[in-house]
Amino acid sequence: MGFDSVSASTKPTQIPTQEEDPSSPCASLLSFNTAPHHKNTATSVIFSSLILVACIALSAASAFALLLFSSSSAPRTGASFASLQTTSRPLTKLNRPVVLLISSDGFRFGYQFKTHTPNIHRLIANGTEAETGLIPVFPSLTFPNHYSIVTGLYPAYHGIINNHFDDPKTGEVFTMASHEPKWWLGEPLWETVANHGLKAAAYFWAGSEVHKGSWTCPQDFCMVYNGSVPFDERVDTVLSYFDLPTSEIPVFMALYFEDPDHQGHKVGPDDPEINEAVAGIDRMIGKLIDGLEKRGVFEDVTIIMVGDHGMVGTCDKKLIFLDDLAPWIDIPADWVQSYTPLLAIRPPPGFAPSDVVAKMNEGLQSGKVQNGKNLKMYLKEKLPSRLHYAASARIPPIIGMVDEGYTVEQKGTKRQECGGAHGYDNALFSMRTIFIGHGPQFARGRKVPSFENVQIYNLVTSILNIQGAPNNGSVSFPSAVLLPDPHKF
C-alpha cells in the first residue's frame, strides 16, 4: 500500500528581484525610456508616465507571483507537515507506549460531519484517519465486531457469530450476557497484554468480563457491564489510571460508549437526535483530551477511536414475510435463529438445507412475494468468500442476505414503524464506521484507505511492541499505517 509524500528537502525556488534581472520587462522599458529623445519634451513626459504606470503594475504582479509561489512551495505546518514526518515522535513523560481504544457504538461514517464535533476533528487533523471509513466484519453487528476488533479474527474463528445464537452440539444459547470462556475463542488484546506481564483495563467492551488465559477481569480495571453508568463517569475512571505511578498505568485500555447506536435504532441515521448523540460523544472526547493534557500525557498516549458498524434507515414498506413463502415451502419460526438483517435458518434433521434454499429462492424470485427479490438465500459455504462466514459449526447452514434497508419478519402485522438497523452486507457504505488514530506513531493529518477492523489487533500490538496471537489481519498492515519507531526497545 503506497501513500504520497513530499520530500523533506523541498524548498521555495529563488526568484530574482527586478533589480537582479536585467531581462525583466520593467528593465527593458526603463532602458527604452533612457534612450535619446527625438520628440519634444511634452511627448517625452507623457511617454515616461505611461512607462512608469506599466512598470508599477508589472512590479505588483511579480510580487504577487512571488508570494503565491513561496506560500505553495515552502514546507508548512499542520496537515501538510504530516507527509514530512518520517519517524514516530518520542515519548516525553510516559516510559512506554500506552494505547487507549475507544468505541462509539453505531457511529456511522459521516456522522462526524453532521454536527459540530471540534474534538473529534482535532484528533483527525492531528492524526491519521481512514478516509472513507472503517469496514466492519460480517455480520455488521455489535458483539461480532467488537470482538473482531480486539482479536483480529473474523467471527467464524473467534466464535461470536451473532449477538444471539445456539450451539448446535450442546443446544445451549449464547446471549450478550454469556461470559463463559467456551464461547469466546481467540485471544483478545487485554489477554495478550496480560500474557506479557503488563497491565490492561477495559470499561464495558464485549468479552472483557470473560476470564481467559492470564486475564482475570481484575477489580478496578475491568467493569461489569451496566449501561446506566454515565459516560462522564467512564471517562473519569480512565483518566484516573493516569494518576497512578507511571509503571502502574495500564498499557492498553478499552472504553465503550453505547451512543449513537441507541438513538440510531429508534430514529434512523438522519434524525436530529443522532446529531445530539454524536455531539455528546464529542464532548466525551473533549473531556478525555482535556484530562490527558492536564496530566501532561496527551501527546504520549495513542488514542484509537473506532465504531463497530454503521446504520441505515428501515421502514415497513421494505418488509419481507417468511409466511408468504408457504406455497413453495413452510419455514416455521423454530427453524429461524435470527431474522434480520441476517436471516439464519437451521432446519431439523430430515430437511436437506440445499432443498430449503432452492425452494425459498424459487418463491422469492417468483414475483409473487412482497419484496422477495430483495432477499437471497445461500448455503453458508456458498456465501461470497469475502464475508469469511462459513468456517464454524455455530453458523447455521442457511443464510439469507437481505438488501440494504429491508427487514425480514415471520408474518405480517399492523405495526407501523420506521427506525434504523445494521447487520447488513459489510460491503455497503452505510455499514462503515470511523477509524481515527492519534499518537506518537500516527502521522498528523494523514489519510489512509479504508480497511477491515481485523487489522486493528496487529496495529495495537505493533504500537505496544509486543508479540500478538495468530489472527486474520495482515502482519504487514501496521507498517503501511504507522510511522516507524526508532525508539522501540
Hey, which residues are catalytic here?
142
- DSSP line for 350-399: TS-HHHHHHHHHHHHTSS-STTGGGEEEEEGGGS-GGG---S-TTS-SEE
Closest alpha carbon to 186 in 166, 213, 165, 209: 213
What nine digits make up the cell of 471? Answer: 489472527
Class of residue 406 by CB neighbours under 10 A (exposed 0-12, middle 13-18, buried 19+): buried
Distance in angstroms (rounded) separating the CA atoms of residues 271 and 255 = 26
Tell me if the bond preceding 218 is cis, omega within 30° of 0.
Answer: no
Distance in angstroms (rounded) separating the CA atoms of residues 151 and 201 = 15
In DSSP terms, which residues pair with 406 in a beta bridge? none
Instruction: Please list, residue by residue across 415-427, b when 16 or more beta carbons sit within 10 angstroms of its beta carbon and e when fewer do.
Output: eeeeebbbbbbbe
Give the DSSP letter of residue 326: T
**3-state class (DSSP) for residue 328:** coil
Distance in angstroms (rounded) separating the CA atoms of residues 376 and 221 = 45
Distance in angstroms (rounded) separating the CA atoms of residues 66 and 45 = 31
Distance in angstroms (rounded) separating the CA atoms of residues 70 and 89 = 28
H/E/C letters for each residue in 118-163?
A: HHHHHHHHCCEEECCCEECCCCCCHHHHHHHHHHCCCHHHHCCCCC
User: Could you give phi then psi for residue 352, rounded to 5 degrees?
Assistant: -70, 125
Residue type, 224: V
Q: Give me the count of residues in the chain.
A: 489
- Our CA dihedral for 331, 335, 338, 344, rounded to 10 degrees, sits at -80
Distance in angstroms (rounded) separating the CA atoms of residues 186 and 189 = 10
Run of H or E residues at 447: strand 446-448
Q: At what angle do helices 456-464 and 142-151 cross, to 10 degrees?
A: 40
Tell me if the bond preceding 75 is cis, omega within 30° of 0.
Answer: no
Q: Are 338 and 164 in contact (CB under 8 A)?
A: yes
Q: At what angle do helices 118-125 and 272-294 cross, to 10 degrees?
A: 60
